[in-house]
Amino acid sequence: MAPPELVAVAFGVAYILLAIRQHRACWIAGGIGTAIYANVFLDAGLPMQAALQVVYVAMSAYGYFAWRTDQGQAAPVRQWTVARHLLALVAVGLATAVSAPLTARYALSAAPVADSLGTWASVVATWLLARRIVDNWLWWIVIDTVLAALFAAQGLFPTAALYFAYALLAVAGWRSWRRSGISS
């Protein structure tokens, strides 16, 4: 359990708690935590997760600006259609089908399929969160549960615990955002 991993976990906890409350500062905490995690995952032999952290840093900047308020009002929470979710799942599957064999072939990843699938699904879920799509939380419940197992298998136990907590907190996030009202 390395100190950088523990610092990243602390920022990760701050991120999820702020995101549930729809507080814009979640993106700052998320950006800092993911910048630290890029190295943690690279050292753990999970290059797709490490690359994802770089994407997260950029998405944190995007989310911070996308969540700005107009006249004190936060952007409304919206919902996606089933068709959009299916299209996103197909895109995740195709991206995984391309990246998993590449990371396996060049021995870049300790778990090529899980690393790739978790990465691409996380990109979609983060974009949904940044766009205030309430269903992002359902994506995160599944993603975080699978990633918790992956990180535990790689010996990243504090991170595995964090991602398991993320999965549980995603349930709270989904409920909270649904109660806040959904726009069409």
Residues 11-65: pLDDT tens digits? 999 999 999 898 999 999 999 999 999 999 999 888 888 999 999 999 999 999 9
Q: What is the DSSP string of 78-89?
A: E---HHHHHHHH
Q: Distance between CA 18 and CA 10 in Å, rounded?
A: 12
Q: Distance between CA 136 and CA 157 in Å, rounded?
A: 25
Locate 145 and state its tokens.
Answer: 């549960």
What is the pTM assigned to this prediction?
Answer: 0.86
Amino acid at 20: I
- Residue by residue, pLDDT tens for the chain (184 residues) are 579 999 999 999 999 999 989 899 999 999 999 999 999 999 988 888 899 999 999 999 999 998 887 655 667 889 999 999 999 999 999 999 999 999 888 877 788 999 899 999 999 999 999 899 999 999 999 999 999 999 999 899 999 999 999 999 999 999 998 988 776 5
Cα–Cα distances in angstroms (integers) from residue 59 to residues 15, 114, 168, in the given order: 13, 22, 23
Return phi, psi of residue 62, to 5°: -60, -50
Locate 154 and state its tokens.
Answer: 């790689």
Helix (H) or strand (E) holding 169: helix 157-179
What is the residue whose two structure tokens read 């943690």? 40
Which of 104, 128, 130, 129 has the alpha carbon at shortest distance from 116?
A: 104
Cβ atoms 74, 22 nearer than 8 A: yes
Extents of the domains making up the chain: 3-68+79-183
